[in-house]
Amino acid sequence: MAQAQTPLTAEKNRLARLEQSLENRSVGLEDVENELLSYEYKLEQAQKSLDDLRLEYEASRQELNQATRAHESTPNSDTERRLKKAKHAFAMAERGVDSRSRRLEFIKENHQQLQQKLAEEKQAIADAKAKISAQQDKISKMVEDMLAKAEASERRAAMARAAATNEKPKPPQIKAQVEPPKREEPAKVEAVAKREIDADLFDYVKRETARLSDLLADEEGNDRKTFRDLELRPIGGKECPLSFWGKINIAW
C-alpha cells in the first residue's frame, strides 16, 4: 500500500511537476523559434523566386504579343515558329508564377501559424512561471506555519515542564535540634561536694579551729606559743597547709 503523502510533500510534488512542465515548455519554445527562423528563410526565398518568375512571365507575355503581331502581319513559317515558342514560354512562365505563388502562400500560412504558436508558448511559459512562483509562496507559507506551530508546541512543553518542576513537593527541612546545656542545680553540686569531703578530715579541721580560737582568746595572758603556719595531717589523707592570719583560711 502506498504511503500517504503529507500536505507539504504533496505541494512539493506539485511544484516539481510545474517546474518539469516549464522545462518542457521552454524546450518546445526553442523548437518553435528554430522552425520559425527556418520558415522566415523559406519565405524570403519563395518571395524572391516568385519575383524572378514574374519578371520572366512579363517578358514571355511581351514576346507572345510581339510574335502574335508579327505572325498576323506577315504569316510564314518563321513567324509561326516564333509565335508557337512564345506561347510555350508564356504558358511555362504563367504556370511557374502560379506554382510559386501557391508555395509562397503556403509558407506564409505556416509562418503565421508558427508566430501564433510562438506567442502561445511564450504565454504558457509566463503562466507556468506565475504558477511556480505562487506554489513556492504557498510552500514557504506552509513551512512558516509549521515552524510557528512547532515553536508554540515547544514553548507549551517548556511551560508544562516548568510547572511540573514547581509542583514537585519540596523535601522537608530537617532542623537540627540542639538541646541547651543543662545547668546543674546548686543542690546537686553541693551534694556532690559533700560526698567528696573526707568526714575525718572535716572533724579534725573543726577541732583545730576550735583549739586555735581558744588560744587566741587568752593569748595575752598565756605564755603558750602559737603558730601561724600549720600542716594538717588527716588520717589516710595527704598533708594540707593551714595558715592563720587573724582568721581561718583553709587551703586545699
User: How high is the pLDDT of residue 221?
Assistant: 55
Query: In terms of domains, do 151 and 75 share one?
Result: yes
Inside any domain, residue 115: yes
Split at pLDDT 50, 70, 90, the class of 211 is confident
Split at pLDDT 50, 70, 90, the class of 162 is confident
Which one has a higher pLDDT value, 137 or 218? 137
Cell representation of residue 199: 568526714
Of 100, 102, 108, the residue nearest 54 (C-alpha): 100
Q: What is the mean pLDDT of the chain?
A: 81
Report how far residue 19's alpha carbon sits from residue 10's, in angstroms, rounded to the nearest whole number.
Answer: 14
- Where would I find the beta strands (DSSP E) of 4-163? none
190 pLDDT higher than 90: no
Single-letter amino acid, residue 188: K
Q: What is the mean pLDDT of residues 219-244?
A: 59
Which one has a higher pLDDT value, 142 or 178? 142
Inside any domain, residue 234: yes
Report how far residue 206's alpha carbon sits from residue 188's, in angstroms, rounded to the nearest whole number.
Answer: 24
Query: In terms of domains, do 149 and 26 share one?
Result: yes
Which one has a higher pLDDT value, 131 or 185? 131
User: How high is the pLDDT of residue 217?
Assistant: 66
Single-letter amino acid, residue 129: K
Query: In terms of domains, do 34 and 77 share one?
Result: yes
Of all residues in the chain, what percent carry a pLDDT higher than 90? 57
- The parent domain of residue 18 ranges over 7-165
Of all residues in the chain, what percent carry a pLDDT higher than 70? 69
Residue-by-residue DSSP string for 24-65: HHHHHHHHHHHHHHHHHHHHHHHHHHHHHHHHHHHHHHHHHH
User: How high is the pLDDT of residue 210?
Assistant: 77
Inside any domain, residue 174: no
**What is the per-residue pLDDT across 100-140, written as a single tens digit (0 to 9) for each?**
999 999 999 999 999 999 999 999 999 999 999 999 999 99
Q: What is the mean pLDDT of residues 161-180?
A: 66
192 pLDDT higher than 50: no
Number of domains, the chain: 2
**Domain CATH code at residue 37:** 1.10.287.620
Split at pLDDT 50, 70, 90, the class of 251 is very low
**What is the per-residue pLDDT across 85-103, written as a single tens digit (0 to 9) for each?**
999 999 999 999 999 999 9
* The model's pTM: 0.52
189 pLDDT higher than 50: no
Cell representation of residue 27: 524546450
Query: In terms of domains, do 118 and 212 share one?
Result: no
Q: Which stretch of 46-60, 128-142, 154-168 has the lowest confidence by average pLDDT? A: 154-168
